[in-house]
Structure 1
Amino acid sequence: MTSIHIVTAENRAGYEAILDEYFRLRHEIFVGERGWRDLERPDGRDMDGYDNDRATYLIALDNGKVIGGLRLYPTLLPHMISESFAHLVRGRDVLSGPSILECTRYFIVKERRTGRTDCRLLAAFQQFCLEEGITEVTAVVEMWWLPRWQQAGFKVRPLGLPTMVEGQPCIAAAIQISEDSLRHVSRLAGLRGSCLVRAAGASAFADRVPHVAA
């Protein structure tokens, strides 16, 4: 059965081979499939400046094989929306705070997109955020994500108007973290318990968020 592993700077030494496969798959999907040529690298691994010690990865594994994943990053630091997509947030400041994270690089491998892997990763996402005291998660996504999230039981609010990015209409949005959403998506995933694995050494997110004076 699919398990979702929390990988942080503190425990990544035990996940080096898995992380290498995760970055390779990111490149295969975001560059190869989706055509984001600005991300192309000669080593075939998608890595950027946000793949640092502040990042947390939720990586879906099946028999030790990476089949999906996502990256979470603190909004108290410069992050993708604040640095590259602030123009998608209309009439307000970019959301940030100790209880708000940014989600990027969400993917499921092609051969697992018709099963329950997607819902299991989304359930693990909601559970992780609840456990960490996160209230909202921001993201920039293609418009087709909105009905997908709605079907998963997520409550989402747009932060601006759709804008063309890489040839696709995209939107900045905030996902509400809630027990109701976790219960709904867990039912869709066929989960009777948690599929989230917090390996030894995976510190709490709050312990890795920098203090920012008021």
Structure 2
Amino acid sequence: MTSIHVITDENKAGYEAILDEYFRLRHEIFVSERGWRDLARPDGRDVDVYDNKQVTYLIALDDRRVIGGLRLYPTLLPHMISESFAHLVRDRDVLSGPTILECTRYFIVRERRMGRTDCRLLAAFQQFCLEEGITEVTAVVEMWWLPRWQQAGFKVRPLGLPTMVEGQPCIAAAIQISDESLRHVSRLAGLRGSCLVRATDASAFVDRVPHVAA
């Protein structure tokens, strides 16, 4: 059963093996599969300056195996849009604030992309942000993400015009966090209860899987 774990600096010591697998999968997906060669590292782990003490990971696990994840980062600190993609934002007016996070490195492993894992991770994303008092989340994504988010019930507003990045038309956008979006994507995911696990280590996940509809 899939469970979505919240990993921060406070509990990452209990998730060392899972985080290592997560970074290796990021490298496999973003470098090997999607061709982002600037991220290539000889150790085969995608780790950058934003993988620090301020980051929060939401990692999807199936029987301790990483099958997806995303990274959330405070916009009050220098972040990916402010430092690398400000030119994608209208008038370079980068959205930031204490209730705004940035989402990066979202992925689902290839063999799970046709099932409900994607919706469960998106539901966990909405739930976590609601619990933390977050109102919006910014991201730079390929244009095909917009209809995908709309299908999931997300309300999204563009922050600028589409621009070519790594050979793909990309856009900076902000996702509204709301109970309505959480309810919609939870229905798509077949969830009847919480899809988040907040634990000190991965061993706790066995008894904290989400309830799903038959």
Instruction: Judge same fold: TM > 0.5, yes or no.
Output: yes
| Structure-1 separation of matches of 2:74 and 2:160 | 21
Indicate the residue corresponding to 2:67 in structure 1.
Answer: 67
| Structure-2 separation of matches of 1:195 and 1:63 | 15
Indicate the residue corresponding to 2:23 in structure 1.
Answer: 23
Q: 1:70-108: per-residue Cα shift (whole Å, max 9, x none)?
A: 000000000000000000001351000000000000000
Moved over 6 A (4+): none
Matched residue count: 201
| Structure-1 separation of matches of 2:91 and 2:77 | 21
Indicate the residue corresponding to 1:193 in structure 2.
Answer: 193
Indicate the residue corresponding to 2:147 in structure 1.
Answer: 147
TM alignment of 1:168-207, pairs within 5 A:
168-200=168-200
TM-score by length of 1: 0.93
Structure 1 counterpart SS, 2:170 = strand
1:37 shift after superposition = 0.1
Structure 2 counterpart SS, 1:104 = strand
1:105 aligns with 2:105: yes
TM alignment of 1:86-101, pairs within 5 A:
86-91=86-91, 93-101=93-101
1:195 shift after superposition = 1.4
| Structure-2 separation of matches of 1:117 and 1:174 | 22
Q: Which amino acid aligns with 1:91?
A: D
Q: 1:91-137: per-residue Cα shift (whole Å, max 9, x none)?
A: 35100000000000000000000000000000000000000000000
Q: 1:38-59: per-residue Cα shift (whole Å, max 9, x none)?
A: 0000000000000000000000
Indicate the residue corresponding to 2:209 in structure 1.
Answer: none
| Structure-1 separation of matches of 2:106 and 2:91 | 27
| Structure-2 separation of matches of 1:83 and 1:123 | 28
Indicate the residue corresponding to 1:211 in structure 2.
Answer: none
1:128 aligns with 2:128: yes
Indicate the residue corresponding to 2:35 in structure 1.
Answer: 35
| Structure-1 separation of matches of 2:154 and 2:189 | 14
Q: Which amino acid aligns with 2:115?
A: G
| Structure-2 separation of matches of 1:76 and 1:192 | 34
TM-score by length of 2: 0.93
Q: Which amino acid aligns with 2:87?
A: H
Q: 1:12-36: per-residue Cα shift (whole Å, max 9, x none)?
A: 0000000000000000000000000
Q: Which amino acid aligns with 1:65?
A: R
| Structure-2 separation of matches of 1:64 and 1:17 | 10
Identity of aligned residues (%): 89
| Structure-2 separation of matches of 1:71 and 1:30 | 14
| Structure-2 separation of matches of 1:200 and 1:41 | 30
Indicate the residue corresponding to 2:206 in structure 1.
Answer: none
Structure 2 unaligned regions, length at least 5: 202-214
Q: 1:135-191: per-residue Cα shift (whole Å, max 9, x none)?
A: 000000000000000000000000000000000000000000000000000000000
1:81 aligns with 2:81: yes
| Structure-1 separation of matches of 2:54 and 2:106 | 17
| Structure-2 separation of matches of 1:7 and 1:141 | 23
Structure 1 unaligned regions, length at least 5: 202-214
